[in-house]
């Protein structure tokens, strides 16, 4: 049976942004990264920033982000993306520079680089994908792993007495004067993805306007790491992650930062 559709403006309901490459993504089915990549690519396209954007990819599942979006990329050492982005932006201030980092990269090994880039008020965007686990290395505990959550390095569930508490770095960086915008979003539904895209657009506009650092957290699921089906993982995220990592804007600076 052959099946052909003629594409006309009338019957076209969706178009893939040309900024996304045709490479097959290495992410697990159900992973949030693919959706977030798509949103980032769409925002860059819609703002006409392809030739002006430099992405900084981390170490972690999204290390290969550079395979999926048609922009120039710098792959950073584990945790150092914000330092790399600092120099890229300072040396080429006309560029749109963003980092794309996971919870291990940004809020464990890269805490110092992240907080200090925030505090200096670098005019960059930090996209922080928090799925409360180390996906790439096989499901170990992250700083953001919830209490009681089972991982490869907290097999009996995270216990505060042994592992300490999960922490909210978005709230921490929201206290810093160099940061103009902190928001926590997710992409588990079309409605959520639309909101997340708006937040990304806001962040990119802030960076181009020189307002300081914008920090966009994406609370995400990792069904492989959590050992759940994609549907169950999204449900578990809504029931367990969202009460702790509350969605919404955390900081929207109305005044421009002082020079």
Partner 1 sequence: MEEIKLIKGNEAVAEGAIRSGCDGYFGYPITPQSEVLETLMELRPWESTGMVVVQAESEVSSINMVYGGAACGKRVMTSSSSPGVSLMAEGLSYLAGAELPCLVVNVQRGGPGLGTIQPSQADYFQAVKGTAHGDFKMIVLAPNSVQEMYDHVFDGFDLAFKYRIPVMMLSDGIIGQMMEKVVMTRQRPRWTKEEVSQISDSWATLGKHAGREKNVITSLELDSQIMEKRNEHLQAKYRKIEAAEVRFEESQMEDAEYVVVAFGSSARIASEAVSMARAAGMKVGLLRPITLWPFPTKRIEELAGRVKGFLVPELNAGQMVEDVRLAVNGKVPVWHYGRMGGMIYSPEDIFNELKNNAR
Alpha helices in the chain (DSSP H): 33-46, 81-91, 103-104, 111-120, 160-163, 169-174, 190-208, 223-226, 230-236, 242-244
| Euclidean distance between CA atoms 176 and 195, whole angstroms | 24
Question: What is the pattern of x (binds partner 1, CB under 8 A) and - over residues 136-175?
Answer: ----------------------------------------
Q: Which stretch binds partner 1 (CB under 8 A): 78-86, 146-154, 190-198, 214-222?
A: 78-86
CA distance 122 to 83: 10
CA 234 – CA 24 distance, rounded (Å): 23
What are the backbone angles phi and psi of residue 240, rounded to the nearest 5°?
A: -115, -40
Alpha-carbon distance of 212 to 207, in angstroms, equals 6
Give the Cα separation of 167 and 205 in Å (integer). Answer: 28
| Residue window 102-141: x/- pattern of binding to partner 1, with contact defined by CB under 8 A | ----------xx--x-------------------------
Q: Are 119 and 176 in contact (CB under 8 A)?
A: yes
Which of 36, 43, 61, 76 contacts partner 1 by CB under 8 A?
Answer: 76
Binding residue for partner 1 (CB under 8 A) from 25, 28, 47, 77? 77
Query: Is residue 65 within 8 Å of 26, Cβ to Cβ?
Result: no
Tell which one of 40, 41, 71, 106 touches partner 1 (CB under 8 A): 71
Q: Applying CB under 8 A, does 66 fall inside the site for partner 1? A: yes
**Of positions 41, 63, 136, 219, contacts partner 1 by CB under 8 A:** 63
Do 37 and 68 touch, CB atoms closer than 8 A? yes
Determine, following the binding rule CB under 8 A, whether residue 40 of this chain makes contact with partner 1.
no
Which is closer to partner 1, CB of 73 or CB of 181? 73
Q: How far is the CB of 232 from partner 1 (least distance, A)?
A: 30
Name the residues that contact partner 1, by CB under 8 A.
Answer: 50-54, 56, 63, 66, 70-77, 80, 83-88, 90-92, 95, 112-113, 116
């Amino acid at each position: 049976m052959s099946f052909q559709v003629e594409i006309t403006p009338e019957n076209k309901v969706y178009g893939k942004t040309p900024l996304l490459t045709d490479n097959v993504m290495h992410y697990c089915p159900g992973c949030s990264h693919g959706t977030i990549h798509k949103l980032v690519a769409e925002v860059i396209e819609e703002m006409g920033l392809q030739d002006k954007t430099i992405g900084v990819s981390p170490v972690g599942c999204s290390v290969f982000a550079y395979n999926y979006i048609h922009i120039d990329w710098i792959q950073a050492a584990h945790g150092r993306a914000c330092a790399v982005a600092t120099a890229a932006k300072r040396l080429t201030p006309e560029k749109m520079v963003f980092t794309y980092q996971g919870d291990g990269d940004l809020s464990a090994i890269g805490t110092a680089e992240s907080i200090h880039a925030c505090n200096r008020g670098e005019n960059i965007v930090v996209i922080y994908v928090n799925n409360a686990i180390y996906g790439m290395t096989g499901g170990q505990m992250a700083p953001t792993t919830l209490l009681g959550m089972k991982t490869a390095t907290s097999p009996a569930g995270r216990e505060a007495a042994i592992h300490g508490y999960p922490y909210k770095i978005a709230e921490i960086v929201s206290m810093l004067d160099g940061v103009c915008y902190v928001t926590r979003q997710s992409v588990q539904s079309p409605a959520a993805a639309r909101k997340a895209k708006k937040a990304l657009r806001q962040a990119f506009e802030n960076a181009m306007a020189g307002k300081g650092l914008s920090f966009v957290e994406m609370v995400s699921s990792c069904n492989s790491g959590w050992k759940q089906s994609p549907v169950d993982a999204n449900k578990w995220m809504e029931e367990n992650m969202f009460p702790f990592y509350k969605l919404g804007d955390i900081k929207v600076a109305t005044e421009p930062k002082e020079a």
